[in-house]
A and B are shown apart, each in its own frame.
Chain A
């Protein structure tokens, strides 16, 4: 059974810092990996999707990498801003339909 772990559970950094969020998964036979952002009380916003054949994806200040063989993904956020404060979730798709989610990392950017 696929398990997804995100460490740390919470992270607080000063504005302007570059930071890395980590995601690990137990079964390397994944179809894709998706990173989401969730603001308090809201739904999920898709940030980046990495197909299993890809190594990384970039969108603006965000860069996500995928190492399937080691069961790891990282989300790199450059030049962090207070508006980046949110919970970040990673999820893996092991088959055609189902996503398995990590517990998330709650990120706080201090002005």
Chain B
């Protein structure tokens, strides 16, 4: 079974802090994704990566950056957390373009 893990289930941070969300997949997948999920807005793509050190912006990249130094790990970085970044963050991976995406359990981030 594909396993996608996220470093924390719940996280509380203060405004202005630098926040790192980590995602690891164990199936040698090429593609990895970061989404956020908000009531009434659904899931929206923040960034994705199709190879090590490669990244592309999704629909809402503002206020976020990403890092993929190793194939199995994809990090989402909030350089200076703000209250409007309070959300559920979901990581996913897929073998290749257009393939089935597998999701992690999510990290519920609260910024106070």
Contacts and interface: CB of A to CB of B under 8 A. Distances in A.
Interface string B29-62: 0010100000010110100101000001010000
B6 to A, nearest CB: 8
Interface string A17-52: 000000000000001101010000111111001000
B100 to A, nearest CB: 4
Contacts of B31: 97
Contact of A98 (B4, B45, B103): B45
Contacts of A98: 45, 48, 58
Given A96-B98, A97-B31, A103 B90 contact: no
Contact of B42 (A46, A49, A93, A102): A102
Interface residues of B, number: 24
A41 B100 contact: no
A31 B42 contact: no
Given A98-B45, A101-B42, A31 B101 contact: no
Contact of B103 (A45, A93, A102): A45
A97 B42 contact: no
A49 B90 contact: no
Interface in A39-71: 41-46, 49
B42 A43 contact: no
B47 to A, nearest CB: 11
A97 B56 contact: yes
B50 A97 contact: yes
A44 B109 CA distance: 17
Contact of B106 (A43, A49, A104): A43
A44 B42 contact: no
Given A31-B98, A99-B101, A43 B90 contact: yes
Nearest to B6: A43
Contacts of A99: 33, 43, 45, 101
Contact of B100 (A34, A42, A102, A103): A34
Interface of B: 4, 31, 33, 40, 42-43, 45, 48, 50, 56, 58, 90, 92, 97-106, 108
